Amino acid sequence: MSDVKDPPGTAAFGQILAAAGVAPLRKPGEPAAQPKLTPATRRESREQLRGRPGRRAWNRRPHSRRSAAGNASASKQRARGGAAPKASVIDWSALALAVVVPPAGLLLSVAAHIADRRRVGWATTVTKISTGVACVLTIVLAAGTVVALELRHEGAAHDAIVASSAEFCGALASPDDLLSSSTLGWPAVGSTIPLTITAMEQYTARWTSIAAIAPEGIQHGAQQLVVAGQAAVDSVTASRTVDHASNVARLEAAADSSGITQWADQYCQ
């Protein structure tokens, strides 16, 4: 069989391909060209055969040696059938502190969670329990603190009103107890019109002095009794007749709307 000659221009075309970095075309039946082995490629081939990554492959790995060790430990745990890792001292300390001092236990359980993930690849059961207990008890403690502070504030405000009402409460009880009647001390009808008017004026004068020393929260209620009593005095003075039932109804309505009885029950001790 005669030799096959290359067509004209084949050599020049091969030079162009070589300059472009493209392997030249092989003739039919010609074996493929073997790559040239350098010392670096030989060393990398030997390391790959031994199961170890070459220098270039090692530099391309994004993980550090520490994370690689943690992943290897996690792989060993999974290979053993998924056995849970043993809890460390910090895990148990976080659980104990979560019960005694929940906020501090929550911080320590977070630290234990991070340490467990670095050590074995995931958090231990004790760490998960301590985190849950610390979260719940911290919320309960915060709510209890808010309620306690609110009660303390209300108690302090109540004590302040009691202290400011001491003189007012003393005036209600002396010389006679005004709180014992539904009209808060409205007098009965006297034997004469002038005596009745005098008793009514004494009632109005007494409540005028009480209103002057009343705390700010009840001062308006005391003034309502002054206004109602003075209206009854003016009516009797003008008509020279006493409508006792009408006067009692007027004073009872003023006493009910004044809130003095409720104030005395709460702040007069």
In the chain, domain spans? 89-144, 169-267
Instruction: Cite the beta strand spans of the chain per DSSP E.
Output: none
| pLDDT surpassing 60 at residue 8 | no
> CB neighbours (10 Å) of residue 47?
15
Q: Sorting pLDDT into bands at 50, 70 and 90, what band is 237? A: very high
Q: In this predicted structure, what is the pLDDT of residue 21?
A: 54
Contact indicator for 218, 259 with CB cutoff of 8 Å:
yes
Q: In this predicted structure, what is the pLDDT of residue 175?
A: 80
Rounded CA separation 60/55 (Å): 9
Using DSSP, state whether 234 is helix, strand or coil: helix
Rounded CA separation 183/200 (Å): 12
pLDDT higher at 73 or 218: 218
Q: What is the pTM of this model?
A: 0.51
Looking at mean pLDDT, say which of 8-12, 56-60, 110-114 comes out highest: 110-114
Q: Sorting pLDDT into bands at 50, 70 and 90, what band is 29? A: low
Using DSSP, state whether 134 is helix, strand or coil: helix
| pLDDT surpassing 70 at residue 6 | no
Give the CA count within 13 Å in the CB-facing half-sphere of 36: 1
Q: 254: closest CA among 186, 205, 165?
A: 186
